């Protein structure tokens, strides 16, 4: 989208893209400053791309961790439900109770 910029000498300039700005910088501040500004803008683009890449990697890692924790909690819920059922029986088998508690214990030890 074009913008109209007014310089200190009261001239209006229509700026459409980065090249127009750099041309104005060269006209009013000199070639060296234009080159410095171009290099700085290039560095900023690279840093922005790197930051976006890192953010995407972190987001993917968070998604994987969320899925893992959901799976762990689901497994714990399943074992705890089975343990609740066993303890509610009239004569529960101690070996079944022991097996359920061992599974829960193993998950907790692994995750902690």
Does the pTM of the predicted model rise above 0.85? Answer: no
Secondary element (H or E) of residue 108: helix 94-111
The full set of domain ranges for the chain reads 3-111
pLDDT value for 11: 92
Residue 104 — pLDDT band, cuts 50, 70, 90? Answer: confident
Contact status, residue 56 vs residue 50, Cβ threshold 8 Å: no
pLDDT value for 79: 86
Contact status, residue 83 vs residue 104, Cβ threshold 8 Å: yes
Q: What is the pLDDT of residues 38-91, one digit of tens each?
A: 999 999 999 999 999 999 999 999 999 999 999 998 988 888 888 888 888 788
Distance of CA 34 to the CA centre of its chain: 35
Higher-confidence residue of 107 and 32: namely: 32
Contact status, residue 80 vs residue 104, Cβ threshold 8 Å: yes
pLDDT value for 98: 87
Indicate the Cα dihedral angle 14, 18, 22, 24, nearest 10°: 10
Q: Which residue has the tokens 């995407």?
A: 56
């Amino acid at each position: 989208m074009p913008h109209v910029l007014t310089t200190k000498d009261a001239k209006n300039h229509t700026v459409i893209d980065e090249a127009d700005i750099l041309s104005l910088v060269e006209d009013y501040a000199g070639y060296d400053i234009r080159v410095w500004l171009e290099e700085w803008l290039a560095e900023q683009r690279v840093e922005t791309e790197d930051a976006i890449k890192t953010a995407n990697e972190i987001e993917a890692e968070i998604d994987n961790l969320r899925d893992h924790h959901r799976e762990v909690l689901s497994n714990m819920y399943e074992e705890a439900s089975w343990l609740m059922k066993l303890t509610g029986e009239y004569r529960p088998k101690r070996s079944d109770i022991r097996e359920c508690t061992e599974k829960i214990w193993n998950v907790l030890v692994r995750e902690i």
